[in-house]
């Protein structure tokens, strides 16, 4: 198997992918992962959570964006004209912890553009995504949503 740069995956790549899969499938918290890493990193040849995320981002070409946001139900994202505020303009909750620079809450965002690009770079998913383009829309047989009257009324 290769990653999207057509370079073969290394043993370390496979290890990182498997660890990331464990994280995702088990809903393991970052705090728990870091505790396991601190206790067993040498025996299990584990990388830090930060290193795992960095490697997955590198392999997938999908970079996570992190934004400071209001701790109270995320009513404000501290970007653009709100970036320099020390408190939420809506609920007045503070932006930072008592150290004055660590945000109380962050929002993690995976941009859709790179995610779609990666899907089209994968041969299997690229073929699946082209399904609609291969259909005979004038077919007399109705065997999926694209042959229905409602879909045709939208064209
Ligand atoms: Zn707020």
Q: Is residue 4 part of a domain?
A: yes
Q: Is residue 33 part of a domain?
A: yes
71 pLDDT above the threshold of 90: yes
The CA 112 to ligand 1 mean position distance, Å, reads 26
pLDDT at residue 2, as a whole number: 47
99-107: Cβ within 8 A, 24+ apart: 103/68, 103/69, 103/78, 104/70, 104/71, 105/68, 105/69, 105/70, 105/71, 105/74, 106/66, 106/67, 106/68, 106/69, 107/66, 107/67, 107/68, 107/69, 107/74, 107/77
101 shares its domain with 145: no
Q: Is residue 116 part of a domain?
A: no
User: How many distinct structural domains can be found in the chain?
Assistant: 3
Q: Is residue 87 part of a domain?
A: yes
81 shares its domain with 39: no
The CA 114 to ligand 1 mean position distance, Å, reads 30
The CA 49 to ligand 1 mean position distance, Å, reads 29
1 pLDDT above the threshold of 80: no
Q: Is residue 115 part of a domain?
A: no
49 shares its domain with 77: no
The CA 77 to ligand 1 mean position distance, Å, reads 9
The CA 100 to ligand 1 mean position distance, Å, reads 17
85 shares its domain with 71: yes
The CA 104 to ligand 1 mean position distance, Å, reads 11
The boundaries of the domain holding residue 90 are 65-109
If phi > 0 it is left, if psi is from -120 to 50 it is alpha, else beta; for residue 142 that is beta
56 shares its domain with 1: yes
91 shares its domain with 138: no
102 shares its domain with 133: no
Range from 1-15, 28-42, 76-90 that averages highest in pLDDT: 76-90
């Amino acid at each position: 198997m290769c990653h999207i740069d057509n370079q073969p995956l290394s043993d370390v790549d496979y290890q990182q992918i498997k660890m990331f899969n464990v994280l995702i499938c088990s809903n393991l918290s970052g705090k728990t992962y870091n505790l396991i890493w601190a206790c067993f990193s040498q025996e299990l040849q584990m990388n830090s959570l930060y290193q795992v995320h960095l490697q997955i981002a590198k392999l997938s070409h999908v970079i996570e964006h992190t934004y400071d946001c209001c701790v109270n139900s995320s009513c404000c994202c501290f970007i653009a004209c709100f970036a320099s505020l020390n408190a939420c303009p809506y609920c007045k909750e503070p932006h930072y912890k008592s150290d004055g620079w660590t945000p109380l809450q962050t929002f993690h965002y995976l941009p859709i553009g790179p995610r779609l690009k990666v899907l089209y770079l994968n041969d299997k998913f690229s073929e699946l995504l082209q399904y609609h383009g291969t259909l005979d829309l004038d077919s007399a047989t109705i065997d999926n949503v694209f042959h229905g009257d409602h879909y045709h009324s939208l064209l």
